[in-house]
Chains A and B, each alone.
Chain A
Amino acid sequence: MSSINSIEEFASIEKGGDYYQKLLEELARLNERLHAFSNINSSINSFPFSAKDNLCVKGVETTASSKILDGYIPPYNATAVERLLNNGFSFLGKTNMDEFGFGSFGINAQEIVRNPFDERYVAGGSSSGAAVATSILKYHVAIAESTGGSIATPASFCGVVGFTPTYSTISRYGLIDYSNSMDKIGIMARTAKDIRPIFDLIRGPDGYDSTTSDLSITSINKKKLIVIDQLLDLVDQRIRELFEKMLDKLNAKGYSIEHRSIDLIDASIASYYIIAMAEASTNLARYTGFKYGFKIEDFDKGYNEFFTEARSVFGEEAKRRILLGTFVRSANVKDKYYFKALKVRDMLSSRLEKILEEGFIILPVMPIPAPKIEDAKKLTPLQVYKMDALTIPPNLCGLPHISFPYAYDNGLPLGAEVITSKFNDYAIIDFVEEWEEDFEYKFKYKIGEVK
Protein backbone atom coordinates (compact mmCIF):
# COMPACT_ATOMS: atom_id res chain seq x y z
CA MET A 1 0.00 0.00 0.00
CA SER A 2 1.23 3.49 -0.86
CA SER A 3 2.84 5.41 1.98
CA ILE A 4 1.52 8.77 0.78
CA ASN A 5 -2.04 9.99 1.19
CA SER A 6 -4.31 10.15 -1.83
CA ILE A 7 -4.16 13.96 -1.90
CA GLU A 8 -0.42 13.75 -2.62
CA GLU A 9 -0.93 10.81 -4.99
CA PHE A 10 -3.62 12.77 -6.87
CA ALA A 11 -1.24 15.70 -7.31
CA SER A 12 1.36 13.38 -8.85
CA ILE A 13 -0.83 11.56 -11.40
CA GLU A 14 -1.03 12.62 -15.05
CA LYS A 15 -4.57 13.79 -15.70
CA GLY A 16 -5.72 14.29 -19.29
CA GLY A 17 -7.56 17.46 -20.35
CA ASP A 18 -10.98 15.84 -20.03
CA TYR A 19 -10.23 14.02 -16.75
CA TYR A 20 -12.64 16.02 -14.58
CA GLN A 21 -15.44 16.01 -17.16
CA LYS A 22 -15.24 12.22 -17.53
CA LEU A 23 -15.20 11.81 -13.73
CA LEU A 24 -18.35 13.91 -13.39
CA GLU A 25 -20.12 12.01 -16.19
CA GLU A 26 -19.26 8.60 -14.74
CA LEU A 27 -20.31 9.76 -11.28
CA ALA A 28 -23.64 11.10 -12.55
CA ARG A 29 -24.40 7.75 -14.24
CA LEU A 30 -23.67 5.69 -11.13
CA ASN A 31 -25.49 8.20 -8.91
CA GLU A 32 -28.73 7.49 -10.77
CA ARG A 33 -28.66 4.04 -9.17
CA LEU A 34 -27.01 4.67 -5.79
CA HIS A 35 -28.39 8.18 -4.97
CA ALA A 36 -25.26 9.15 -3.02
CA PHE A 37 -25.47 12.80 -4.12
CA SER A 38 -28.49 15.09 -3.98
CA ASN A 39 -26.66 17.35 -6.43
CA ILE A 40 -23.33 17.23 -8.25
CA ASN A 41 -21.31 20.32 -9.14
CA SER A 42 -21.05 20.95 -12.90
CA SER A 43 -17.34 21.76 -12.83
CA ILE A 44 -14.33 20.85 -10.65
CA ASN A 45 -10.61 21.38 -11.18
CA SER A 46 -8.76 19.96 -8.15
CA PHE A 47 -8.97 17.27 -5.45
CA PRO A 48 -12.71 16.87 -4.76
CA PHE A 49 -14.62 16.88 -1.48
CA SER A 50 -18.31 16.37 -0.86
CA ALA A 51 -20.43 17.91 1.90
CA LYS A 52 -23.29 16.20 3.70
CA ASP A 53 -26.52 17.98 2.86
CA ASN A 54 -26.80 19.47 6.35
CA LEU A 55 -23.71 21.65 5.71
CA CYS A 56 -24.27 25.02 4.11
CA VAL A 57 -22.54 25.69 0.80
CA LYS A 58 -23.00 29.20 -0.55
CA GLY A 59 -25.40 29.31 -3.48
CA VAL A 60 -26.11 25.56 -3.41
CA GLU A 61 -29.50 24.21 -2.30
CA THR A 62 -29.11 22.73 1.20
CA THR A 63 -32.04 20.76 2.59
CA ALA A 64 -30.74 18.21 5.15
CA SER A 65 -32.90 15.87 3.07
CA SER A 66 -36.06 17.55 4.39
CA LYS A 67 -38.94 18.83 2.29
CA ILE A 68 -39.26 21.69 4.76
CA LEU A 69 -35.98 23.10 3.44
CA ASP A 70 -36.76 22.56 -0.27
CA GLY A 71 -35.33 25.50 -2.17
CA TYR A 72 -33.21 26.89 0.70
CA ILE A 73 -30.07 28.52 -0.72
CA PRO A 74 -27.50 29.46 1.97
CA PRO A 75 -25.79 32.82 1.52
CA TYR A 76 -22.61 31.54 3.23
CA ASN A 77 -20.33 28.51 3.55
CA ALA A 78 -20.01 26.30 6.63
CA THR A 79 -16.56 26.89 8.15
CA ALA A 80 -15.36 23.36 7.26
CA VAL A 81 -16.38 23.93 3.63
CA GLU A 82 -14.87 27.42 3.52
CA ARG A 83 -11.52 26.17 4.85
CA LEU A 84 -11.28 23.40 2.22
CA LEU A 85 -12.18 25.81 -0.59
CA ASN A 86 -9.55 28.26 0.66
CA ASN A 87 -6.98 25.48 0.53
CA GLY A 88 -7.55 24.63 -3.12
CA PHE A 89 -10.04 21.74 -2.86
CA SER A 90 -12.99 21.49 -5.25
CA PHE A 91 -16.55 21.18 -4.01
CA LEU A 92 -17.99 18.11 -5.76
CA GLY A 93 -21.56 18.05 -4.45
CA LYS A 94 -24.01 17.54 -1.59
CA THR A 95 -24.48 14.03 -0.22
CA ASN A 96 -27.80 12.48 0.74
CA MET A 97 -28.73 11.70 4.32
CA ASP A 98 -31.57 10.77 6.64
CA GLU A 99 -33.79 13.81 7.21
CA PHE A 100 -31.94 16.15 9.62
CA GLY A 101 -29.73 13.16 10.60
CA PHE A 102 -32.66 11.22 12.09
CA GLY A 103 -31.83 7.64 11.18
CA SER A 104 -29.34 4.79 11.23
CA PHE A 105 -30.05 3.19 7.84
CA GLY A 106 -30.46 6.04 5.35
CA ILE A 107 -34.11 5.19 4.75
CA ASN A 108 -35.65 8.33 6.31
CA ALA A 109 -34.62 10.28 3.23
CA GLN A 110 -36.17 11.81 0.13
CA GLU A 111 -34.12 9.29 -1.89
CA ILE A 112 -32.88 6.05 -0.31
CA VAL A 113 -29.12 5.67 -0.74
CA ARG A 114 -28.02 2.17 -1.84
CA ASN A 115 -25.02 0.19 -0.67
CA PRO A 116 -22.35 0.11 -3.41
CA PHE A 117 -21.38 -3.48 -2.55
CA ASP A 118 -24.94 -4.72 -3.12
CA GLU A 119 -27.71 -2.32 -4.03
CA ARG A 120 -30.38 -4.34 -2.24
CA TYR A 121 -28.80 -3.35 1.09
CA VAL A 122 -28.83 -0.11 3.09
CA ALA A 123 -25.80 2.17 3.09
CA GLY A 124 -26.28 3.06 6.77
CA GLY A 125 -27.16 6.47 8.15
CA SER A 126 -27.46 9.20 8.59
CA SER A 127 -24.41 10.18 6.46
CA SER A 128 -25.38 7.56 3.87
CA GLY A 129 -24.40 9.51 0.75
CA ALA A 130 -21.05 10.55 2.23
CA ALA A 131 -20.09 6.90 2.82
CA VAL A 132 -21.20 5.79 -0.65
CA ALA A 133 -19.41 8.72 -2.31
CA THR A 134 -16.23 7.76 -0.45
CA SER A 135 -16.58 4.13 -1.46
CA ILE A 136 -17.07 4.81 -5.20
CA LEU A 137 -14.56 7.64 -5.83
CA LYS A 138 -10.84 6.90 -5.97
CA TYR A 139 -9.77 10.44 -5.01
CA HIS A 140 -12.19 12.20 -2.68
CA VAL A 141 -12.91 12.99 0.95
CA ALA A 142 -16.36 13.47 2.46
CA ILE A 143 -17.25 16.02 5.09
CA ALA A 144 -19.97 14.36 7.14
CA GLU A 145 -21.57 14.82 10.55
CA SER A 146 -22.36 12.56 13.48
CA THR A 147 -24.68 13.05 16.43
CA GLY A 148 -25.16 9.45 17.62
CA GLY A 149 -23.27 7.32 15.08
CA SER A 150 -24.03 8.93 11.73
CA ILE A 151 -20.42 8.65 10.54
CA ALA A 152 -19.34 5.30 12.01
CA THR A 153 -22.44 3.36 10.92
CA PRO A 154 -22.50 4.22 7.19
CA ALA A 155 -18.68 4.06 7.02
CA SER A 156 -18.90 0.54 8.45
CA PHE A 157 -21.63 -0.62 6.03
CA CYS A 158 -19.86 0.88 3.00
CA GLY A 159 -16.31 -0.22 3.87
CA VAL A 160 -14.63 3.18 4.35
CA VAL A 161 -12.86 4.95 7.21
CA GLY A 162 -15.11 7.25 9.24
CA PHE A 163 -13.60 9.70 11.71
CA THR A 164 -15.66 11.53 14.34
CA PRO A 165 -13.43 13.95 16.24
CA THR A 166 -13.63 15.20 19.80
CA TYR A 167 -16.76 17.32 20.24
CA SER A 168 -15.82 20.98 19.72
CA THR A 169 -12.68 20.49 17.62
CA ILE A 170 -14.37 21.40 14.31
CA SER A 171 -16.57 24.48 14.08
CA ARG A 172 -20.30 23.79 13.69
CA TYR A 173 -20.87 27.11 11.94
CA GLY A 174 -23.00 26.45 8.86
CA LEU A 175 -24.24 23.09 10.12
CA ILE A 176 -28.01 22.62 10.21
CA ASP A 177 -28.47 21.81 13.88
CA TYR A 178 -29.89 18.53 15.11
CA SER A 179 -28.58 18.30 18.70
CA ASN A 180 -26.16 21.12 19.48
CA SER A 181 -24.52 19.46 22.45
CA MET A 182 -23.65 16.34 20.43
CA ASP A 183 -23.36 17.35 16.74
CA LYS A 184 -19.83 16.81 15.41
CA ILE A 185 -18.54 17.45 11.92
CA GLY A 186 -16.21 14.65 10.81
CA ILE A 187 -14.47 13.10 7.83
CA MET A 188 -14.79 9.98 5.71
CA ALA A 189 -12.02 8.74 3.43
CA ARG A 190 -10.82 5.55 1.79
CA THR A 191 -7.86 5.34 4.16
CA ALA A 192 -6.86 6.87 7.48
CA LYS A 193 -3.93 8.50 5.68
CA ASP A 194 -6.35 11.02 4.16
CA ILE A 195 -8.05 11.88 7.43
CA ARG A 196 -5.26 13.72 9.25
CA PRO A 197 -4.42 16.38 6.62
CA ILE A 198 -8.11 17.21 6.19
CA PHE A 199 -8.71 17.27 9.95
CA ASP A 200 -5.79 19.69 10.36
CA LEU A 201 -7.20 21.99 7.70
CA ILE A 202 -10.74 22.25 9.02
CA ARG A 203 -10.34 22.08 12.81
CA GLY A 204 -9.49 24.89 15.23
CA PRO A 205 -11.04 28.05 16.66
CA ASP A 206 -13.66 29.91 14.69
CA GLY A 207 -15.10 33.30 15.52
CA TYR A 208 -18.50 32.06 14.37
CA ASP A 209 -18.67 29.13 16.85
CA SER A 210 -17.64 29.98 20.39
CA THR A 211 -17.60 26.30 21.42
CA THR A 212 -14.74 25.44 19.04
CA SER A 213 -11.70 24.48 21.07
CA ASP A 214 -8.11 25.63 20.56
CA LEU A 215 -6.56 22.81 22.62
CA SER A 216 -3.79 20.86 20.90
CA ILE A 217 -4.37 17.33 19.62
CA THR A 218 -2.24 14.46 20.92
CA SER A 219 -1.27 10.93 19.85
CA ILE A 220 -0.89 8.78 22.96
CA ASN A 221 -1.14 5.02 22.39
CA LYS A 222 -0.76 2.74 25.42
CA LYS A 223 -0.98 -0.45 23.31
CA LYS A 224 -3.99 -1.68 25.26
CA LEU A 225 -7.44 -2.37 23.77
CA ILE A 226 -10.47 -2.60 26.05
CA VAL A 227 -13.67 -4.37 25.00
CA ILE A 228 -16.91 -3.48 26.81
CA ASP A 229 -18.57 -6.85 27.40
CA GLN A 230 -22.17 -5.65 27.78
CA LEU A 231 -21.93 -4.10 24.32
CA LEU A 232 -20.18 -7.06 22.72
CA ASP A 233 -22.96 -9.30 24.06
CA LEU A 234 -25.45 -7.42 21.85
CA VAL A 235 -23.60 -8.38 18.69
CA ASP A 236 -24.66 -11.00 16.13
CA GLN A 237 -22.68 -14.26 16.59
CA ARG A 238 -20.97 -14.15 13.16
CA ILE A 239 -19.83 -10.54 13.68
CA ARG A 240 -18.51 -11.48 17.09
CA GLU A 241 -16.43 -14.33 15.64
CA LEU A 242 -14.89 -12.09 12.99
CA PHE A 243 -14.31 -9.29 15.51
CA GLU A 244 -12.49 -11.69 17.85
CA LYS A 245 -10.28 -12.83 14.96
CA MET A 246 -9.35 -9.19 14.43
CA LEU A 247 -8.50 -8.86 18.12
CA ASP A 248 -6.17 -11.86 17.74
CA LYS A 249 -4.40 -10.08 14.88
CA LEU A 250 -4.04 -6.93 16.96
CA ASN A 251 -2.79 -8.98 19.88
CA ALA A 252 -0.10 -10.40 17.58
CA LYS A 253 0.87 -6.82 16.68
CA GLY A 254 1.63 -6.11 20.33
CA TYR A 255 -1.71 -4.90 21.73
CA SER A 256 -2.96 -6.37 24.99
CA ILE A 257 -6.72 -7.06 25.05
CA GLU A 258 -8.87 -6.59 28.17
CA HIS A 259 -12.59 -7.16 28.71
CA ARG A 260 -14.54 -4.88 31.05
CA SER A 261 -18.05 -4.12 32.18
CA ILE A 262 -19.22 -0.55 32.86
CA ASP A 263 -22.27 0.31 34.89
CA LEU A 264 -24.58 2.88 33.23
CA ILE A 265 -23.78 1.64 29.72
CA ASP A 266 -27.30 0.16 29.62
CA ALA A 267 -28.75 3.64 30.22
CA SER A 268 -26.81 5.29 27.41
CA ILE A 269 -29.39 4.75 24.63
CA ALA A 270 -32.18 6.32 26.71
CA SER A 271 -29.94 9.20 27.81
CA TYR A 272 -28.83 9.86 24.23
CA TYR A 273 -32.29 9.80 22.67
CA ILE A 274 -33.84 11.97 25.39
CA ILE A 275 -31.18 14.67 25.00
CA ALA A 276 -31.07 14.42 21.20
CA MET A 277 -34.85 14.62 20.83
CA ALA A 278 -35.18 17.46 23.35
CA GLU A 279 -32.62 19.51 21.40
CA ALA A 280 -34.02 18.48 18.00
CA SER A 281 -37.55 19.51 18.97
CA THR A 282 -36.36 23.03 19.80
CA ASN A 283 -34.12 23.27 16.71
CA LEU A 284 -36.94 22.26 14.38
CA ALA A 285 -39.18 25.01 15.78
CA ARG A 286 -37.40 27.48 13.47
CA TYR A 287 -39.01 25.94 10.39
CA THR A 288 -42.18 27.96 10.34
CA GLY A 289 -43.03 28.00 6.65
CA PHE A 290 -42.01 31.58 5.91
CA LYS A 291 -38.29 31.98 6.68
CA TYR A 292 -36.45 29.08 5.04
CA GLY A 293 -37.11 26.66 2.20
CA PHE A 294 -40.71 25.41 2.00
CA LYS A 295 -43.11 28.34 2.17
CA ILE A 296 -46.79 28.93 2.54
CA GLU A 297 -47.91 32.09 0.80
CA ASP A 298 -51.32 32.46 2.49
CA PHE A 299 -50.49 35.04 5.17
CA ASP A 300 -54.17 35.47 6.07
CA LYS A 301 -54.03 32.22 8.03
CA GLY A 302 -53.63 32.45 11.80
CA TYR A 303 -50.19 31.62 13.18
CA ASN A 304 -51.18 28.22 14.65
CA GLU A 305 -52.89 27.08 11.46
CA PHE A 306 -49.99 28.38 9.36
CA PHE A 307 -47.38 26.70 11.56
CA THR A 308 -49.29 23.37 11.70
CA GLU A 309 -49.57 23.33 7.91
CA ALA A 310 -45.85 24.04 7.50
CA ARG A 311 -44.90 21.24 9.89
CA SER A 312 -47.04 18.74 7.97
CA VAL A 313 -44.18 18.41 5.46
CA PHE A 314 -41.77 16.97 8.06
CA GLY A 315 -41.15 13.25 7.60
CA GLU A 316 -42.52 10.68 10.05
CA GLU A 317 -39.31 10.34 12.10
CA ALA A 318 -38.96 14.13 12.41
CA LYS A 319 -42.54 14.36 13.70
CA ARG A 320 -41.83 11.54 16.17
CA ARG A 321 -38.77 13.35 17.51
CA ILE A 322 -40.62 16.66 17.83
CA LEU A 323 -43.32 14.92 19.86
CA LEU A 324 -40.94 12.96 22.08
CA GLY A 325 -38.54 15.91 22.48
CA THR A 326 -41.39 18.19 23.50
CA PHE A 327 -42.76 15.56 25.88
CA VAL A 328 -39.47 14.96 27.76
CA ARG A 329 -39.06 18.73 28.26
CA SER A 330 -42.60 19.26 29.58
CA ALA A 331 -42.86 20.73 33.06
CA ASN A 332 -44.24 17.70 34.90
CA VAL A 333 -41.69 15.16 33.59
CA LYS A 334 -38.54 17.14 32.72
CA ASP A 335 -36.74 16.10 35.95
CA LYS A 336 -37.53 12.43 35.34
CA TYR A 337 -36.37 12.41 31.72
CA TYR A 338 -34.41 15.41 30.45
CA PHE A 339 -32.45 16.47 33.54
CA LYS A 340 -31.82 12.86 34.53
CA ALA A 341 -30.51 12.10 31.02
CA LEU A 342 -28.06 15.03 31.29
CA LYS A 343 -26.77 13.70 34.62
CA VAL A 344 -26.42 10.18 33.24
CA ARG A 345 -24.40 11.58 30.31
CA ASP A 346 -22.00 13.31 32.70
CA MET A 347 -21.63 10.21 34.85
CA LEU A 348 -21.00 7.96 31.84
CA SER A 349 -18.49 10.46 30.40
CA SER A 350 -16.60 10.41 33.68
CA ARG A 351 -16.46 6.57 33.72
CA LEU A 352 -15.39 6.29 30.09
CA GLU A 353 -12.68 8.94 30.45
CA LYS A 354 -11.25 6.99 33.38
CA ILE A 355 -11.12 3.73 31.41
CA LEU A 356 -9.61 5.52 28.40
CA GLU A 357 -6.67 6.64 30.54
CA GLU A 358 -5.55 3.00 30.32
CA GLY A 359 -5.97 2.43 26.57
CA PHE A 360 -8.40 2.53 23.63
CA ILE A 361 -11.89 1.04 23.70
CA ILE A 362 -12.56 -1.18 20.68
CA LEU A 363 -15.93 -2.53 19.51
CA PRO A 364 -17.78 -3.59 16.38
CA VAL A 365 -19.70 -0.58 15.00
CA MET A 366 -23.08 -2.27 14.56
CA PRO A 367 -24.62 -5.35 16.19
CA ILE A 368 -25.80 -6.63 12.78
CA PRO A 369 -24.44 -6.62 9.22
CA ALA A 370 -26.06 -4.14 6.78
CA PRO A 371 -29.71 -5.22 6.39
CA LYS A 372 -31.66 -5.29 3.14
CA ILE A 373 -33.59 -2.06 2.58
CA GLU A 374 -36.95 -3.85 2.81
CA ASP A 375 -35.94 -5.46 6.14
CA ALA A 376 -34.75 -2.16 7.64
CA LYS A 377 -38.15 -0.65 6.82
CA LYS A 378 -39.89 -3.32 8.91
CA LEU A 379 -38.06 -2.39 12.15
CA THR A 380 -40.00 -0.43 14.79
CA PRO A 381 -38.52 2.96 15.83
CA LEU A 382 -37.37 1.51 19.17
CA GLN A 383 -35.67 -1.42 17.42
CA VAL A 384 -33.81 1.08 15.21
CA TYR A 385 -32.74 3.19 18.22
CA LYS A 386 -31.38 0.09 19.94
CA MET A 387 -29.21 -0.66 16.90
CA ASP A 388 -27.14 2.41 17.88
CA ALA A 389 -26.07 0.82 21.18
CA LEU A 390 -22.38 0.62 20.20
CA THR A 391 -22.01 4.02 18.54
CA ILE A 392 -23.94 5.99 21.17
CA PRO A 393 -21.45 5.94 24.10
CA PRO A 394 -18.63 7.86 22.34
CA ASN A 395 -21.09 10.18 20.60
CA LEU A 396 -23.06 10.92 23.75
CA CYS A 397 -19.85 11.73 25.61
CA GLY A 398 -18.12 13.71 22.82
CA LEU A 399 -15.25 11.23 22.54
CA PRO A 400 -13.19 10.90 19.35
CA HIS A 401 -13.66 7.61 17.50
CA ILE A 402 -12.82 6.15 14.14
CA SER A 403 -14.39 3.24 12.28
CA PHE A 404 -12.51 1.09 9.79
CA PRO A 405 -13.17 -2.07 7.76
CA TYR A 406 -11.82 -5.22 9.42
CA ALA A 407 -13.58 -8.06 7.55
CA TYR A 408 -15.87 -8.85 4.62
CA ASP A 409 -18.73 -11.32 5.05
CA ASN A 410 -21.25 -12.34 2.37
CA GLY A 411 -19.71 -9.71 0.12
CA LEU A 412 -20.41 -6.87 2.57
CA PRO A 413 -17.85 -4.98 4.69
CA LEU A 414 -17.88 -4.96 8.49
CA GLY A 415 -16.48 -2.09 10.53
CA ALA A 416 -14.94 -1.77 13.98
CA GLU A 417 -14.58 1.44 16.01
CA VAL A 418 -11.75 2.60 18.22
CA ILE A 419 -12.47 5.21 20.88
CA THR A 420 -10.00 7.37 22.79
CA SER A 421 -9.87 10.25 25.28
CA LYS A 422 -10.88 13.75 24.28
CA PHE A 423 -8.23 15.55 22.17
CA ASN A 424 -6.20 12.34 21.61
CA ASP A 425 -7.64 12.18 18.09
CA TYR A 426 -4.32 11.65 16.28
CA ALA A 427 -3.75 8.43 18.24
CA ILE A 428 -6.75 6.64 16.72
CA ILE A 429 -5.97 7.91 13.22
CA ASP A 430 -2.44 6.53 13.64
CA PHE A 431 -3.90 3.27 14.98
CA VAL A 432 -5.97 2.75 11.82
CA GLU A 433 -2.97 3.66 9.61
CA GLU A 434 -1.10 0.89 11.39
CA TRP A 435 -4.03 -1.53 10.77
CA GLU A 436 -4.00 -0.62 7.07
CA GLU A 437 -0.35 -1.67 6.70
CA ASP A 438 -1.37 -5.30 6.31
CA PHE A 439 -5.11 -5.22 5.69
CA GLU A 440 -6.23 -4.27 2.21
CA TYR A 441 -9.62 -2.57 1.86
CA LYS A 442 -11.92 -3.58 -1.03
CA PHE A 443 -13.84 -1.22 -3.28
CA LYS A 444 -16.26 -2.11 -6.07
CA TYR A 445 -15.89 1.17 -7.97
CA LYS A 446 -12.89 3.43 -8.57
CA ILE A 447 -14.30 6.50 -10.31
CA GLY A 448 -11.49 8.92 -11.12
CA GLU A 449 -8.77 6.28 -11.31
CA VAL A 450 -6.20 6.91 -14.04
CA LYS A 451 -5.53 3.59 -15.79
Chain B
Amino acid sequence: MQSDFDKLLKVCRIRLDKEEKEKMEKELEEIIKYFDVLDSVRIEEVNEQRAKVERLRKDEVKQFDNIEGLLKNTKTYRFYVVGPKV
Protein backbone atom coordinates (compact mmCIF):
# COMPACT_ATOMS: atom_id res chain seq x y z
CA MET B 1 0.00 0.00 0.00
CA GLN B 2 1.21 3.49 -0.82
CA SER B 3 2.18 5.75 2.08
CA ASP B 4 0.81 9.31 2.23
CA PHE B 5 4.25 10.56 1.24
CA ASP B 6 4.35 8.29 -1.81
CA LYS B 7 0.92 9.61 -2.83
CA LEU B 8 2.17 13.18 -2.46
CA LEU B 9 5.22 12.43 -4.60
CA LYS B 10 2.96 10.94 -7.26
CA VAL B 11 0.56 13.91 -7.27
CA CYS B 12 3.53 16.28 -7.56
CA ARG B 13 5.24 14.18 -10.24
CA ILE B 14 8.43 14.27 -8.19
CA ARG B 15 10.75 11.27 -8.31
CA LEU B 16 13.32 10.77 -5.53
CA ASP B 17 15.75 7.94 -4.93
CA LYS B 18 15.58 5.99 -1.64
CA GLU B 19 18.10 8.14 0.21
CA GLU B 20 16.62 11.44 -1.02
CA LYS B 21 13.15 10.21 -0.13
CA GLU B 22 14.05 9.33 3.46
CA LYS B 23 15.77 12.67 3.99
CA MET B 24 12.95 14.69 2.38
CA GLU B 25 10.20 12.88 4.30
CA LYS B 26 11.96 13.56 7.61
CA GLU B 27 12.47 17.25 6.77
CA LEU B 28 8.87 17.68 5.66
CA GLU B 29 7.56 16.08 8.84
CA GLU B 30 9.61 18.52 10.91
CA ILE B 31 8.37 21.53 8.91
CA ILE B 32 4.70 20.46 8.96
CA LYS B 33 4.94 19.93 12.72
CA TYR B 34 6.27 23.48 13.01
CA PHE B 35 3.33 24.79 10.95
CA ASP B 36 1.04 23.55 13.74
CA VAL B 37 1.89 26.78 15.58
CA LEU B 38 -1.12 28.18 13.68
CA ASP B 39 -3.45 25.86 15.64
CA SER B 40 -3.20 28.11 18.69
CA VAL B 41 -4.29 31.26 16.79
CA ARG B 42 -7.89 32.31 17.34
CA ILE B 43 -9.26 33.78 14.14
CA GLU B 44 -10.74 37.29 14.01
CA GLU B 45 -12.30 38.93 11.00
CA VAL B 46 -10.28 41.91 9.72
CA ASN B 47 -10.65 44.00 6.62
CA GLU B 48 -7.35 43.82 4.75
CA GLN B 49 -6.60 44.29 1.05
CA ARG B 50 -3.49 42.93 -0.64
CA ALA B 51 -3.30 45.66 -3.29
CA LYS B 52 -4.98 49.04 -3.31
CA VAL B 53 -5.96 50.05 -6.81
CA GLU B 54 -8.05 53.20 -7.23
CA ARG B 55 -9.16 52.69 -10.81
CA LEU B 56 -9.70 49.35 -12.47
CA ARG B 57 -8.27 49.02 -15.96
CA LYS B 58 -10.58 48.54 -18.91
CA ASP B 59 -11.15 44.92 -19.80
CA GLU B 60 -9.69 45.12 -23.28
CA VAL B 61 -8.12 42.22 -25.10
CA LYS B 62 -4.75 43.09 -26.63
CA GLN B 63 -2.73 40.74 -28.76
CA PHE B 64 0.89 40.22 -27.67
CA ASP B 65 3.04 41.85 -30.35
CA ASN B 66 5.81 39.25 -30.53
CA ILE B 67 4.16 35.85 -30.95
CA GLU B 68 7.02 34.61 -33.12
CA GLY B 69 9.44 35.46 -30.30
CA LEU B 70 7.30 33.47 -27.84
CA LEU B 71 7.21 30.46 -30.11
CA LYS B 72 11.02 30.46 -30.45
CA ASN B 73 11.16 29.00 -26.94
CA THR B 74 9.26 25.90 -27.93
CA LYS B 75 9.08 23.20 -30.54
CA THR B 76 6.23 24.18 -32.81
CA TYR B 77 4.32 22.88 -35.73
CA ARG B 78 2.88 25.87 -37.55
CA PHE B 79 1.20 27.79 -34.69
CA TYR B 80 0.78 24.86 -32.28
CA VAL B 81 3.11 24.04 -29.39
CA VAL B 82 4.22 20.42 -29.65
CA GLY B 83 3.97 18.50 -26.36
CA PRO B 84 3.68 14.94 -25.01
CA LYS B 85 0.63 12.67 -25.28
CA VAL B 86 -2.03 13.35 -22.68
- A-B complex is real: yes
State whether the Cβ of A355 lies closer than 8 Å to any Cβ in chain B: no
The answer on a CB contact under 8 Å between A299 and B84 is yes
- Kindly state whether residue B35 has any CB partner on chain A within 8 Å: yes
A374 at the interface (CB under 8 A from B): no
> Which of B14, B37, B39, B81 is close to A290, meaning CB atoms less than 8 Å apart?
B81
Closest A residue, CB atoms, query B36: A270
Residues of chain A contacted by B83 (CB below 8 angstroms)? 288, 290-291, 299, 306
Q: How far apart are the CA atoms of A319 and B15 in the complex, in Å?
A: 9
Tell me whether B18 is interfacial, beta carbon within 8 Å.
Answer: no
Within 8 A of B (CB), among A247-289: 264, 266-267, 269-271, 273-274, 281, 288-289
Kindly name the residue among A290, A297, A385 whose own CB sees the greatest number of chain B CB atoms within 10 A: A290
Tell me if B52 counts as interface (CB < 8 A to partner A). yes
Q: How far is the CA of A305 from the CA of B82 in the complex (A)?
A: 16
A residues 313-359 touching B (CB-CB < 8 Å): 314, 316, 319-320, 322-324, 326-328, 336-337, 340-341, 343-347, 349-350
Bound-state Cα–Cα, A123 to B11, Å:
35
Q: B24, A319: Cβ atoms under 8 Å?
A: yes
Residues of chain A at interface, number, CB under 8 A: 72
**Chain A proximity of B69: nearest CB distance (Å):** 3
- Contact A215 B12, beta carbon cutoff 8 Å: no
A302 part of interface (Cβ distance < 8 Å):
yes
Q: Is the pair B31, A328 in contact by a Cβ cutoff of 8 Å?
A: no
Cβ-neighbour of B82 out of A75, A207, A299, A349 (below 8 A): A299
A345 to B41, alpha carbons, bound, how many Å? 11
Q: B16 at interface (Cβ–Cβ under 8 A)?
A: yes
Minimum distance in angstroms from B71 CB to a CB of chain A: 9
Which A-chain residue is minimally distant from B56 (CB atoms)?
A210
For the complex formed, measure the closest distance between the CB of B12 and the CB atoms of chain A, giving whole angstroms: 5
Are A291 and B38 closer than 8 Å at their CB atoms? no
Query: Roughly how many angstroms separate A307 CA and B13 CA in the complex, as a whole number?
Result: 7
Name B36-50 residues within 8 Å CB distance of A: 37-41, 43-44, 46-48, 50
Give residues 50-79 of B contacting A (CB, 8 Å).
50-57, 62, 64, 66, 68-70, 72-75
Kindly state whether residue A367 has any CB partner on chain B within 8 Å. no
In this complex, which of A343, A344, A380 has the most chain B Cβ atoms within 10 angstroms of its Cβ? A343
Smallest distance from the beta carbon of A289 to chain B beta carbons, Å?
8
Given known pairs A73-B73, A270-B35, A344-B38, the reply for A350 and B12 (CB within 8 Å) is no
Closest CB-CB distance, B43 to chain A, in whole Å? 5
Q: Which residue of A lies closest to B83 (CB)?
A: A290
Would A290 and B8 count as touching, CB distance under 8 A? Answer: no
Interface pair B66/A350, CB less than 8 Å apart: no
Complex partner residue of A422 from B52, B53, B64, CB under 8 angstroms? B52
A308-B13 in contact given A270-B37, A382-B30 (Cβ < 8 Å): yes
CB distance from A345 to the nearest CB of B (A): 8
B43 x A343 contact (CB < 8 A): yes
Partner of B31, one of A291, A324, A343: A324
In the complex, residue of chain A having the shortest beta-carbon distance to the beta carbon of B27: A381
* Residues in B whose Cβ lies below 8 Å from that of A300: 84-85
B8 partner residues in chain A, CB cutoff 8 A = 323, 326-327
Residue of A292, A295, A319, A337 with most chain B CB atoms under a 10 A cut-off:
A319
Q: List B contacts of A269 (CB < 8 A).
A: 34
Closest B residue to A340 by CB, please name it: B38
Q: Which chain A residues in 210-229 approach chain B with CB under 8 Å?
A: 210-215
In the complex where A168-B53, A322-B14 touch, is A347 in contact with B31 (Cβ < 8 A)? Answer: no
In the assembled complex, the CB of A50 is this many whole angstroms from the nearest CB of chain B, namely 23
Q: Which residues of A contact B55 (CB under 8 A)?
A: 214
Contact between chains at A267 and B38 (CB < 8 Å): yes
Q: For the complex formed, measure the closest distance between the CB of B11 and the CB atoms of chain A, giving whole angstroms.
A: 6
Q: Is A319 a contact of B14 with CB atoms below 8 Å?
A: yes
A213 close to B50 (CB less than 8 A)? no
Q: A75-B70, A270-B38, A302-B84 are in contact. Are A297 and B31 (CB under 8 A)?
A: no
Q: Is the CB of B52 within 8 A of A215?
A: yes
In the assembled complex, how far is the CB of residue A48 from the closest CB belonging to chain B, in whole angstroms? Answer: 25
Inside 8 A of A345's CB, which chain B residues have their CB? 48
CB distance from B46 to the nearest CB of A (A): 4
Q: A207-B62, A350-B46 are in contact. List 12 more A-B contacts (CB 8 A).
A: A73-B72, A167-B50, A211-B51, A213-B51, A273-B31, A303-B85, A320-B27, A323-B8, A337-B38, A340-B41, A347-B44, A382-B30
Interface set of A (CB-CB < 8 Å, partner B): 72-73, 75-76, 167-168, 181, 207, 210-215, 264, 266-267, 269-271, 273-274, 281, 288-293, 295-297, 299-308, 311-312, 314, 316, 319-320, 322-324, 326-328, 336-337, 340-341, 343-347, 349-350, 380-382, 385, 398, 422-423
A-B pairs, top 6 by smallest CB distance, nearest first, are: A75-B69, A306-B84, A168-B51, A346-B48, A350-B46, A308-B13
